[in-house]
Amino acid sequence: MTRSWFRQAAIAVMALALGGCVVTHPGAVDSVRFASDRSFVEARTEAGVVRGVEGAGVRAFLGVPYAKAPVGDLRWRGPRPPEPWDGVRDATRLGSDCVQALGRKAILGGGGGLVVGSEDCLFVNVYGPVPDQVLDDNLSRLRPVMVWLHGGAFTIGSGANYDPSRLAAEQGRVVVTVNFRLGALGWLAHPGFDAEGDGGARNLGGNWGLMDQQAALRWVHENIGAFGGDPGDVTLFAESSGAWSACYLMASPGSEGLFHRVILQSGPCLEPQSLNAAKDQAPGGPPFAEALGCTEQGQVACLRALPAWRLARAPSLRSGINGPGSWGPVHTDATVPTSPPEAFASGRFTWVPVIVGTNTDEGRLFAVEVKDMERYQKETVWLYGADGERALERYPVGADGPAVAIAQSFTDSRFSCPAEALRRLLARHVPVHGYEFADAEAPFLLPDWISGLDMGAYHASELAYVFGTSWLFADTGRWTPEQRALSDRMMRLWAGFGHDPDFEQDWPRVNDGGGPIVVFHPEGDRVDATFHDRHHCGFWGGTALGAVEPG
């Protein structure tokens, strides 16, 4: 079976959910730009002065370049510092999203799709609170910084899809959202890159997007003071593929000193098929080029001459986070010299406190098309191979139907148990906290009629709660008072990580077994020690798909 219905459902839902927001950015940007008390404000970066806007209690500097546009000969090279400019650069409008193809197949590297965005996309958006002339004793004091890496299977999305205005205004944080290269432009590996020598040590490519993220963090380190942020107090937080990226960044020596704590939401990086060495992915580069007509020597130069839309629409011939044919970062290269599991087990990573969490029903977002027993059995065997029959026994179909059964196995194998294993590994060296988001009534990010399934606490359902603002159709206007209070608690905890002296009273550290964790629920949070058993982690640890956990 070359393409399962389960994966087709994942593609359809994720393309709609994540790709659909590429051209409809959050309204809070406009609420700042067009606020009745709007005024303009300037900040001086190392490249020049930018003019942003403040209003409704928030300062926003939008579309600020952190690197030179990676076009022409700079395509598939490490990011360069932005060109300095004279005068004042407008930062009241969002910059372009990075090139990406939207469609059923495109999101997981299958090719085709509607191409949007630009290669000139390496921008950050900086949000901060407006200093209160009366309440702020020291108007020049620097505030803690939070840097956000978006999800989207490494192929779609942008920093502008997220609205951090409440985090900034209510929690007193300077929040930075980041664009980085996607798809082939962000993750292509090819032997020809090594001959160019870009990146110092052996570099077969495959981590251009990761290098962008690291460059954005360096930009924050060098410039955020001009926006009222403290470069010595940076929390890196990320979701889904963004959290996988953050995992790799922790294992990269070049990240040392760029962040001081990490929050990984639904992106544990110990799942076997998300761990790919550069040398294993580079052989996919030449056939990728040949499929685009670059058949002679000098394939890299030929690829650089192609229009970006052709590269975005071309199918991947490598492996990534979502298996064969998808994109994602690589290890054992100049940027990430060893795999994240090996780095974490040996202690060769950036030692900072970490939060690792998942949602109770992650897999339901991907299981909407599994509607009968025949498909359930076929998809389970396809997903788990030699362990498929055992998985069928472990996850029998109950009254909720086959979609819920396969969604639970997918949740446990791809998210929950790798997260527990990651907590165990990291806790050998650094303070670690764990969570499970469990609001089964969280508003769905698409119109409810699309799913035909009780989505529960689905993948990405926590995003509206962490930011406190609507995300697609996950409208905060539909929240109950209890859900709004849950969001307030989560925003306070995310922002208070590393700052609130009472933090560990409410949220204890995990032990060497990966628990306990805190379960977030509208009716009240609780400390929970049953995560391992509830998600069948003993079972998955004994399969070929178990989390990679050295030592």
Helix (H) / strand (E) containing 237:
strand 229-239
- For residues 9 and 370, the answer to whether their CB atoms sit within 8 Å is yes
Q: Which of 25, 331, 459, 535 is catalytic?
A: 459
The per-residue pLDDT for 482 is: 98
Q: Could you count the other beta carbons within 10 Å of the beta carbon of residue 57?
A: 16
Q: Is the peptide bond before 81 cis (omega within 30 degrees of 0)?
A: no
Is the pLDDT score of 61 beyond 90? yes
Domain that holds residue 393: 120-277+319-542
The per-residue pLDDT for 17 is: 44
Which residue stretches of 54-100 are H helix?
none
- Torsion sign, CA atoms 375, 378, 381, 382: negative
- For residues 89 and 49, the answer to whether their CB atoms sit within 8 Å is yes
User: Is 85 a domain residue?
Assistant: no
Residue 405 has which token pair? 């059964």
Give the C-alpha separation, 442 to 449, whole Å.
15
Which residue stretches of 282-430 are H helix?
285-291, 299-305, 308-313, 340-346, 373-384, 388-394, 402-411, 417-427
User: Is 52 a domain residue?
Assistant: no
How many residues belong to the chain?
551
Q: Is 118 a catalytic residue?
A: no
The one-letter amino acid code at 181 reads R
Among candidate residues 347, 362, 128, 121, the one with its CA nearest the CA of residue 243: 362
Q: Which of 271, 362, 379, 462 is catalytic?
A: 362
User: Is 523 a domain residue?
Assistant: yes
Q: Is 150 a catalytic residue?
A: no
- Structure confidence by residue, pLDDT tens digits, 406-460: 999 999 999 999 999 999 999 999 999 999 999 999 988 776 656 667 889 999 9
Q: Which residues pair with 128 in a beta bridge?
A: 59
User: Is 467 a domain residue?
Assistant: yes
Structural domain total, the chain: 1
User: Is 289 a domain residue?
Assistant: no
The angle subtended at Cα 367 by Cα 114 and Cα 437, nearest 5°, is 100
Give the C-alpha separation, 284 to 317, whole Å.
5
Q: Is 461 a catalytic residue?
A: no
Give the C-alpha separation, 175 to 125, whole Å.
8
User: Is 302 a domain residue?
Assistant: no
- Structure confidence by residue, pLDDT tens digits, 206-265: 999 999 999 999 999 999 999 999 999 999 999 999 999 999 999 999 999 999 999 999
Average pLDDT, the chain: 88
Distances (CA, A) of 438 to 149, 359, 387, 435, 523: 23, 6, 28, 9, 10
User: Is 215 a domain residue?
Assistant: yes
User: Percent of the chain beyond pLDDT 70?
Assistant: 86
- Structure confidence by residue, pLDDT tens digits, 279-295: 999 999 999 999 999 98
Residue 163 has which token pair? 């609205």
Q: Which of 96, 158, 240, 461 is catalytic?
A: 240
Q: Give the domain CATH number at 345.
A: 3.40.50.1820
The one-letter amino acid code at 300 reads V
User: Is 459 a domain residue?
Assistant: yes
Is the pLDDT score of 32 beyond 80? no
